[in-house]
Amino acid sequence: MDLLDIPNPYAGNRDYRLYMAVPLVLMAVGLFFAFVTPGLERGIDLKGGLLITLQATGTIDEAVLKADLSKYSGTVDIRSVSTGAGTGIEIELENNPALETAEDDVKTLLELDRTLTDAELAIASQNGTGDASRVNALRTQILSKSASVLASIGSKAVAGDEPHAAVQAVLEEQSSAKQNYRDTLLAVVKQRTGSGDVSFREVGSSLSKFFLAKTREIVTLALILASLVVFFVFRALLPSFAVVFGAIADVTMTMGVMSLLGIPLTLATVATLLMLIGFAIDTHIMLSMRILKRKEGTAAERAFEAMGTGFLMNLTTIGAFGALWLVSRWLQIPMYEQIGAVAVIGGFADFIAAWLFSAPLVLQHAKKSEPK
């Protein structure tokens, strides 16, 4: 019995090249939703911010909680999920702008402090004949900036007239201000939710920018290396293009659905997308090997046989990660829930990309060398 007892979609005089329109359209739609509207949301890993998670013990008035937290953060996003295990609450807030600016200023102060230390050591080693004017300028700059930072975070501490001590005071006051800000937010949350078990996660803007830049580099490098490996295996441009384009189409369609479902782009979902690239390349290499390297039957028959194998591969992925999604949703583990959802979406997207785009393209290549 053939796959699902359906006729071979590549056999006969069918113009299977028309199938390629489906993934191309879905890919365009995916790009539109992922990058135009509504746009793929970034998690705090990639945009920075504060994330408070808790298990609620009773009914929560989200409007009142949001109003209380809005006094301390310009953006407050509250998400709740009710399951048999209880009610899980996620509260996402933006970083405190003053503390974010102060953190950047502290880095500048530390650099100036190191420069001043080096200049002072140079003068000491030269018996006081060094550049004293540069040292005085650095001392003045550090004291002025220290006073400015302390004022910006609302500290009552005084910078004083000793630059190294002023930098140390700024470090202590900035750390204390961050801790007070966290404690204030957690106190508000605990008061309104009645929950004592609250987790707090913070990602600064500079770290999130680093994560985002590295994410782009890793995805780009993965596609380049995959392209080189595929070309080395087949030594032909068209099959290699089919494999790589299939992986890109898989990720693009998945990101479009992620945008529609409100699944954010985080380090966990990026890792899942990279896994999907590997899975898609595996599927597409399998179909290309079956069609081009084997000789039994016609190319269309070999493609249909490969579809059966690919169907089982996709079904296994969807089943395994679907189970992960269900369990993590029940236990309210957002990271695993997102991983499971993205992998399931990618499993369907891979089937579409492989058998409606890559297979027709490889068949067209094989048709040129197949006996009439």
Work out how many domains the chain is built from and give that number: 3
Whether residue 25 is predicted with pLDDT greater than 90 in this model: the reply is: yes
DSSP track, 238-259:
HHHHHHHHHHHHHHHHHHHHHH
Percent of the chain with pLDDT over 90: 33
Q: Does residue 317 sit within a domain?
A: yes
149 in the same domain as 84: no
Identify whether residues 138 and 251 lie together within a single domain.
Answer: no
Q: Return the number of other C-beta atoms located less than 10 Å from residue 23's C-beta.
A: 25
State the average pLDDT over residues 66-93.
Answer: 80
Residues 161 and 304 in one domain: no
The mean pLDDT value for 214-231 works out to 79
Q: Please indicate, yes or no, if residue 12 is contained in any of the structural domains.
A: yes
Is 352 inside any structural domain?
A: yes
Closest to 189 (Cα-Cα) out of 370, 306, 61, 86:
61
Q: What HEC string does 274-294 produce?
A: HHHHHHHHHHHHHHHHHHHCC
The answer to whether position 74 is within a domain reads yes
Q: Is 235 exposed, middle or buried (0-12, 13-18, 19+ CB in 10 A)?
A: exposed
Q: What is the CATH number of the domain that holds 210?
A: 1.20.1640.10
Residue 42 Ramachandran class (φ > 0 left, ψ -120 to 50 alpha, else beta): beta
**pLDDT (0 to 100) of residue 85:** 55
Residue 82: what pLDDT? 66
CB 366 within 8 A of CB 298: no
Q: How confident is the model at residue 351 (pLDDT cuts 50, 70, 90)?
A: very high
Give mean pLDDT, residues 57-69. 83
**Residue 165 banded pLDDT, cuts 50, 70, 90:** very high
Residue 175 located in a structural domain: no
Query: Do 109 and 197 share a domain, yes or no?
Result: no
Are 213 and 362 found together in one domain? Answer: yes
Write down the pTM of the prediction.
0.78
- For residues 291 and 333, membership in a common domain is answered with yes
Same structural domain for residues 317 and 261? yes
pLDDT at 143: 92
> Does some domain include residue 178?
no
Mean pLDDT of 195-207: 74
Evaluate whether residue 174 is within a structural domain: no
How confident is the model at residue 196, as a pLDDT? Answer: 61
Whether residue 232 sits in one domain with residue 270: yes
CATH of the domain at 86: 3.30.70.120
Residue 230 structure tokens: 């595929």
Residue with tokens 């039957």: 297
Assess whether 62 and 195 both reside in one domain: yes
Q: Look at residue 1 in the predicted model and tell me its pLDDT.
A: 40
| Average pLDDT for 191-205 | 76
pLDDT single digits (tens) 260-279: 998 998 888 988 998 998 88
Query: Which domain does 209 fall in, by range?
Result: 3-44+205-367
**Is residue 40 located within the same domain as residue 148?**
no
Based on the fold, state whether residues 219 and 274 are members of the same structural domain.
Answer: yes
pLDDT at position 57 is 66
Same domain, 361 and 292: yes
The mean pLDDT value of the chain amounts to 85
The answer to whether position 223 is within a domain reads yes
Provide mean pLDDT across the span 234-238: 78
Q: Which of 24-28, 193-197, 218-222, 252-256 is the least confident region?
A: 193-197
Confidence check: pLDDT of 303 > 50: yes
- Asked if residue 167 lies in contact with residue 147, where contact means CB atoms within 8 angstroms, the answer is no
Mean pLDDT over 118-134 rounds to: 76
